[in-house]
Amino acid sequence: MNPFYYGQIVKDENFCRRPELVDNLGGNIKRGQNVYIQGERRTGKSSLIFETIRKLKKIRLIYVDLLEVKSSDDFLKRVVMAVVSMEKSARFFEQIFQKLAHIRPIASVDPLTGLPTLTIDAAVELKPDSIPGVLDLVSSYHSKAKPLVVVFDEFQDVLNLKDARQTLALLRSKVQFQSDIAYVFAGSIRNKMDSIFNDPDSAFFKAAIPIQVGSLKNETFQKFIIGKFETGKRRIKPETLDSIFDICFQIPGDIQQLCGALWDTTSSGKGISEEQLPSALELIFSHELKGYETILNVISRQQLKLLTALARMGGKAPMSSEFLKNSGITQASSVRRALGRLVDLRIIFYYENEYRFINPFFRAWLLNKKL
């Protein structure tokens, strides 16, 4: 079976150790210190949170995924459902049913598990002023014997709410008084997380300490991957691993995706070298082609010119005369405009003084197609 996992949280033997981060996050959680976790997409933020909490044992987790949260009603219902799914016992269920009476919960039985479950009447629209009540409910599950950690993942999406400011202010005013409870806020869109935690005008200014999640240590992650290939009697050459890491800009999720494709396009007992990379990439391209074509449909010729130039030359100095000469774009101002548009479209992003592709395989495809 293919041992490479991507696009999902990885645990146990599929989690490559990152002890410094686990210790750092774990220590803060134990002290009830609020933290915010920042890192690019697919670097392993969510996996780190779950792994850390698994190691802490005894801790109770309320995990709220805010990806594409639409309204404060949606926000609150997600928090309530996260509380509901914390425990499955009948006693807990009865208790929570009473505590939530004011928002008209509906009791039912989960057809899959046969366990009691609870939903909230869609006709009841929760407003931000329910936030204090819902956070009181959350804190009622905290005790010394079983401390609570509350995780808001993809927290930056709160900014999409119409009443984002009010939501953040109410949230903050509750969180700051629940000083024993560790709140963990994770997010991947740097400028948005920055505007929540580092902007003096934001309610969350300095409300939590930052933890950065970057790439895994190369050596440790390479050993981990070699070990996974060995489970299928495949031996991968070190320089091929280096190429994989380069193609993927060291992003753990993308590295696992490419290794997974290599696994699928090779067989047991075979060595893996550079020669096997093109067919693995082709496999990924075939899965992702629709997405690439959608991008080509929404960008202009000029933007495509810029993208292919970025693919070829990297994004360190797209305004330099050399870059302009090679890209065939005459004006630096056109490059600036096109960069802005491509960032807005979430095709590229700016990180550590460089424009990068959000999806490294799209870059590889552009290079391959020589568009």
Ligand X SMILES: Nc1ncnc2c1ncn2[C@@H]1O[C@H](COP(=O)(O)OP(=O)(O)OP(=O)(O)O)[C@@H](O)[C@H]1O
Residues that bind ligand X (CB under 6 A): 5-10, 15-16, 18, 39, 41-47, 188, 216, 252-253, 256
Closer to Mg ion by Cβ: residue 50 or 292: 50
User: Helices marked H in 70-140 — which ranges?
Assistant: 72-84, 90-99, 131-139
**Side chain identity, residue 23:** D
Task: Report, in Å, the least distance between residue 64 CB and Mg ion.
Answer: 12
**Binding residues for Mg ion restricted to 46-65, rule: CB under 5 A:** 46
Q: How far apart are CA 308 and CA 313, in angstroms?
A: 9
From the list Mg ion, ligand X, none, partner contacted by residue 365 (C-beta under 5 to 8 A by kind): none
Distance of closest approach, residue 252 Cβ to ligand X, in angstroms: 4
Q: How far is the CB of 213 from Mg ion (least distance, A)?
A: 10
CB closer to Mg ion, 37 vs 135? 37
Residue 51 CB contacts under 8 Å (≥ 6 apart), including other chains: 11, 15, 22
User: Could you say which of Mg ion, ligand X, none residue 357 binds, taking C-beta under 5 to 8 angstroms by partner kind?
Assistant: none
For Mg ion, the closer of residues 46 and 130 by Cβ is: 46
Task: Decide whether 45 or 305 has the Cβ nearer to Mg ion.
Answer: 45
Structure tokens at 155: 């927290």
26 binds, among ligand X, Mg ion, none (CB under 5 to 8 A by kind): none
Pairing of strands 182-187, 35-38: parallel
Q: Are strands 116-120 and 105-109 parallel, antiparallel or unpaired?
A: antiparallel
Question: Rg for the chain (alpha carbons), in Å?
Answer: 23
The item of Mg ion, ligand X, none sharing an interface with residue 47, based on CB under 5 to 8 Å by kind, is ligand X
Q: Which two tokens stand for residue 127?
A: 């407003």
Comparing CA positions, the residue from 369, 342, 362, 343 lying closest to residue 292 is: 362
Of 3, 18, 81, which Cα lies nearest the Cα of 217? 18
52: nearest Cα among 250, 244, 213: 213
Return the one option of Mg ion, ligand X, none that residue 15 interacts with (CB less than 5 to 8 A, by type). Answer: ligand X
Find the part of the chain contacting Mg ion (CB under 5 A) among 39-47, 204-212, 227-235, 348-356. Answer: 39-47
Stretch that binds Mg ion, among 44-52, 203-211, 237-245, 256-264 (CB under 5 A): 44-52
Query: Looking at beta carbons only, is 15 or 229 nearer to ligand X?
Result: 15
Nearest residue to 185 via CA among 157, 161, 166: 157
Residues 274-313: x/- map of binding to Mg ion (CB under 5 A)?
----------------------------------------
Taking the least distance from each CB to ligand X, the nearer of 245 and 323 is 245
Task: Return the closest-CA partner of residue 161 out of 81, 104, 77, 83.
Answer: 77
* Shortest Å distance, C-beta 51 to Mg ion: 13
Taking the complex as a whole, the smallest distance from the CB of residue 43 to ligand X amounts, in Å, to: 5
Tokens of residue 134, six digits: 């819902």
Q: Residue 6's binding partner, choosing from ligand X, Mg ion, none, with beta-carbon cut-off 5 to 8 A by kind? A: ligand X
Residue 66 or 207 with smaller CB distance to ligand X = 66
Of 108 and 231, the one with the shorter C-beta distance to ligand X is: 231
User: Which range in 45-53, 83-91, 241-249, 340-348 contacts Mg ion by CB under 5 A?
Assistant: 45-53
Pick from ligand X, Mg ion, none: which does 44 bind, CB < 5 to 8 A by kind? ligand X
Tell me the backbone φ, ψ of residue 119, rounded to 5 degrees: -130, 170
The answer to whether the beta carbons of residues 28 and 35 sit under 8 Å apart is yes
3-class SS of residue 350: strand
In angstroms, the CA 321 to CA 331 distance is 9
Least distance from Mg ion to the Cβ atom of residue 235, Å:
32
List Cβ neighbours of 40 (8 Å cut-off, separation of 6 or more). 188, 190, 214, 251, 349, 351
Q: Which stretch binds Mg ion (CB under 5 A): 43-51, 164-172, 316-324, 348-356?
A: 43-51
Binding residues for Mg ion, per CB under 5 A?
A: 45-46
